[in-house]
A and B are shown apart, each in its own frame.
Chain A
Amino acid sequence: MELSIDHLTKDFLSVRALDDVTFRIRAGEIHALMGENGAGKSTLIKIVTGVYKPDSGRLLLDGQPVEFSSPRDALAAAIGAVHQERNLIPRFSVGENIVLEHLPTRNGMVDYAEVHRQARAYLDLLDRAIDTRAEVATLSVAQMQLVEIAKALSLKAKLLLLDEPTASISGHEAAALFDVLGRLRAQGVAIVFVSHKLEEVLSLCDRVTILRDGKIAAADEPIASVSRGRLVSLMIGRDERVADMGVRNPDTSQTVLELRAVSTSFGHHDADLSLHKGEILGLYGLVGAGRTELARSILGYGRITAGEIRVNGQRARIRSMNEALESYRIGYVSEDRKGEGLLLAYPVKENIAITIWRRIAGILGLITPRAEAKAAGPFVGRLAIRTPSIDAAVSTLSGGNQQKVSIAKWLAAQTDILIVDEPTVGIDVKTKVEIHELIAGIARDGVSVLLITSDMAEMVTLADRILVLHDFRIVGEVANDHRYEGTSAAVMNFIHAVDPAAAGA
């Protein structure tokens, strides 16, 4: 089956996720879809599988235009997928998960012997050790990933989309998967393969399409004609995307936050890190590298199983966010702004003052709206938060201004250390620059920032040093000279230096 993607465009609120994307996937080829985090790959896959509807443009299967109103339509058109997030039913058996789309029945009832027989056949292609009768909830992440792949294979799809299928499996299992994909290709199946692992793409795929900021950077290029270097530069782009944030002078003699050989219950191993006063220390890694988990471990969500954390040279045992703020003056801007960072239905002033309620409380511990307004007011001006009033609900603000509010509350609390997790996800370009200036500004004022981001340009713009995290280990450190090409290449080299072995290539 051949899929033509014809001028697809998709917006999410003010952000354009896909912009006039056109390319073609032929029968009997493995087509690599590449791009940085947030380039639009997963959005594209979700449109092809009927999860999202495009705002404009269309899909053609073998030349015929199709419109999918639900995933069911895409399944009926013989399109199968492994999505990036886990999509299994936790309390069902492995076998039933694999054949859930087409449960075999006898006399109208599910035939479990047949369920496990069919599931076994698909699972055996990848891993013989997983029991099809085991409950999915008991499996490891890698095993779940294999079950998802087996599930997609069981669809006997004519078009198969795999969104980072090898992200959490071992080289041995990936090799088995590539065998299967090779056979499917020979049978004429069209395969879309998303991966950050360059070696995999270069050795497995026939053609490559590269997305950058939702736009096509290269379409349908035969893989033989692109070098590894060109692939990377196409993903990154050549245009200067690093704004000058001025000079900062972090005080490297003063270490405010230090991890010494820290291992965590999330699986981090032997992590060393030191954050200096007034410094922006970047923590970069691909999806699933354990960035947010490391931040959360510092804040007491997740157990420290070995090593120690020091704040201002003193050993620190932080058990909760409240303790982090009250005893150690650490703030945390969550990557999940709407879910964790803000009280959406509450006014701007309360969202800013929430961290200092205790300080501004008057007689009897009561908080007056006036005290809140007085405490929060200056930040609205200083951060240029565009809001009709300090009493407006945060939910009525744009994403960028919401993010400013979630940063403002930590400034109000006068934190010394601020952990900032993905500060500009889903934020338009103009406000993004303002937020970058804001973060650079607070660092200049002496706040130490631990910056977590999967946006390389943001990292190169802001960080003084970049720690590279891969598979829950810190694998390297790059001194940032704020020049995109060199720094990003250095960071990616650390990740790929680990990869070839892991990918079994």
Chain B
Amino acid sequence: MRRILNAEWAGLLASIVVGAIVLAVVSPNFLSEFNFYVLLRSVCVSIIVAFAQMVTLAVGQMNLSVGALGGMTAILFGGMMEVFGVPLWLAVPIAITIGVLGGLVNGLLAARTGINGFIVTLATASAFTGVNLGLTKSVPFYKMPTALQDFGNGRIGALPFLLIAPLVVSPLLALFLFRLPIGRRLLAVGGNSQAAALSGISPGNAIVLAHCLSGFLAAIGAVLAVAQLGSAQPLIGSDWLLLSFAAPIIGGTALAGGYVSIIGAILAVLVIALIQNGLVLAKVDPYWVQFLLGALIVATISLNRWRARPIRLA
């Protein structure tokens, strides 16, 4: 109990509980099974997208192409099934491979050329979006396999099938980052790349690995988004960037690298979803959600700065 109270995400958990109680009191619809289903369904893609950014933040990099890579992967995934009739069981691993390759390009450019990862992924973001729009001319692929659509819409009570993805990915990612030596090396480079190098760790390799993992997760997000929408929309990913930074940072992940919180990122996504859900239930103009999200990020980061101890390094 004490550990939970001391955890960095304790505040987030509290705001979720309070927020849920308030919503339940104000709007009886909040507690309905269908509303819970809608709420949970909306967080599945977001959690994976948050992880995709979090792993690059972990190593001290950024991936501005997270949405562009997701969008490109989504239309290639949908396109290969509609145009070439690739079966679903094959299309999913191909899509994930595409994501990893996109991440590999980012990682190699960032680690080997010495160009700042921010610039690299800003450029590749444009390139990935270009491939997306060039291939689709902005026209979605609609004929998705029924199995995929059923997966995207199915539920058991309030629990959407889509929830399987974050339920599987989150513990595996935790295992990777906190238990596997390779994951520890990734975080060590993010924490102090010079010190990691002196401990025999290659910062370059860690950066490439982090970007590949980011691409891998972005591709999973893309597949989930296609399943959720029932079609491969060229616009998938275009609204991922803000959330991909907001959720990990609100959840306690260090912007400068070296520290991540998986639970924090998940709770942050839930908080954001609750706000959106609450505003819908309260019939607030959905466009104002954007404003509140921005305000929330600023507030949380200010709070973290204020809380952080000044650490003296010689």
Contact = CB atoms under 8 A, between A and B. Distances in A.
Q: How large is the interface on B (under 10, 10 to 19, 20 to 34, 35 or more residues)?
A: 20 to 34
B202 interface: yes
Contacts of B179: 109-110
A260 to B, nearest CB: 25
A295 to B, nearest CB: 17
Contacts of B314: 85-86, 141, 144, 168, 288
B192 A89 contact: yes
Nearest to A72: B200
B195 A110 contact: no
A258 interface: no
Contacts of A100: 184, 188, 196, 199, 201
A75 B201 CA distance: 11
Given A110-B179, A110-B181, A90 B191 contact: yes
A71 B197 CA distance: 7
Contact of A91 (B197, B201, B254): B254
B206 to A, nearest CB: 12
Contacts of A103: 181, 184
A101 interface: yes
Interface in B274-314: 309, 311-314
Nearest to B312: A141
Interface residues of A, number: 31
B194 to A, nearest CB: 7
Contacts of B309: 137-138
A101 B200 contact: yes
B198 A88 contact: no
B150 to A, nearest CB: 36
Contacts, number: 80
Contact of B191 (A72, A89, A109): A89
A105 B312 CA distance: 32
Given A100-B188, A110-B179, A168-B314, A91 B200 contact: no
A187 to B, nearest CB: 23
Given A85-B194, A88-B192, 10 more contacts: A70-B197, A71-B197, A71-B198, A87-B192, A89-B258, A91-B258, A100-B184, A109-B180, A141-B314, A168-B314
18 contacts: A49-B198, A70-B202, A71-B198, A71-B199, A72-B202, A85-B314, A86-B314, A88-B192, A89-B187, A89-B192, A89-B195, A91-B187, A91-B254, A103-B181, A109-B180, A110-B184, A137-B311, A144-B314
Interface of B: 175, 178-181, 184, 187-188, 191-192, 194-202, 254, 258-259, 309, 311-314
Interface of A: 49, 51, 70-72, 75-76, 81, 83, 85-92, 96, 100-101, 103, 105, 108-110, 137-138, 141, 144, 168, 288
8 nearest A-B residue pairs (beta carbon): A87-B195, A89-B191, A72-B200, A91-B259, A109-B179, A75-B200, A100-B199, A71-B198
